[in-house]
Homo-oligomer: A and B are copies of this chain.
Amino acid sequence: EIVAQLSSIMAPGALTGQRVMITAGPTHEAIDPVRYIANRSSGKMGYALAEAALAAGAEVILVSGPVHLTAPTACQTISVESASEMLEQVMLNIRQTDIFIGCAAVADFRPAVIEGQKIKKQGRQQMTLELEATTDIIATVSASEYRPKLVVGFAAETELLAEHADSKRQQKGLDIIAGNHVGKGIGFASEENALEVFWSGGGQRLPRQHKRLLADALMTLIIERYHAKDTTKTDRPKAG
């Protein structure tokens, strides 16, 4: 139908021979054998970006957290559960990657201790869960000696989108950041979304539309920035 037709606006071959790695979905951070902390990412945007990259001729590795979606058969899919598993798989494959797109909603915090047995209630009315920060995957990719030529991040924000997103882009040394509002009936779990995209010296608003079309529009921007970018790795953040 319409979605399938419009995906053909992607310049075929624009990414032929290029390797694109995309992270997608949520991560699940175990509390004990049965409980975990999750987030509302459906994975739809990341999977749609994988389709768009494939349509542009790229070889695609999709590193996916737990979702209920079928991955495109033409891409290599690596299923992970936690932020640390995702980081490990990303870094195992980063050296051969030309474009990295961090679309996963990676947990910022995980339980500091994973209990081996199910935590019993034992009549308690309160409980305290100690959390520790996870390693920031996209910042790690961006600071790596094997930094891909183009590193693209996402920022899901409930407020002050442009400000939060572009500051996150600069702080993490990303080439492009795609900011989206969440918590207003769009974003997570929705079929549609809108993005505000920022790069050094520019930006573009992609209006609300089906995620498959939005992924094509974003991929078109990514391809432009990729080909426009000098291979000199000027966006690497300072050490430390």
Contacts and interface: CB of A to CB of B under 8 A. Distances in A.
A160 B104 CA distance: 38
B117 A158 contact: yes
Contacts of A133: 121, 124-127
Interface string A21-42: 0000000100111111111100
Interface of A: 28, 31-40, 68, 105, 107-109, 112, 117-119, 121, 124-133, 156-159, 182-183, 188
A157 to B, nearest CB: 7
Q: What is the count of identical protomers in the complex? A: 2
Given A68-B68, A109-B127, 11 more contacts: A35-B39, A37-B37, A37-B38, A108-B119, A108-B121, A118-B157, A118-B159, A125-B133, A127-B131, A127-B132, A128-B130
A37 B137 CA distance: 22
A31 B132 CA distance: 15
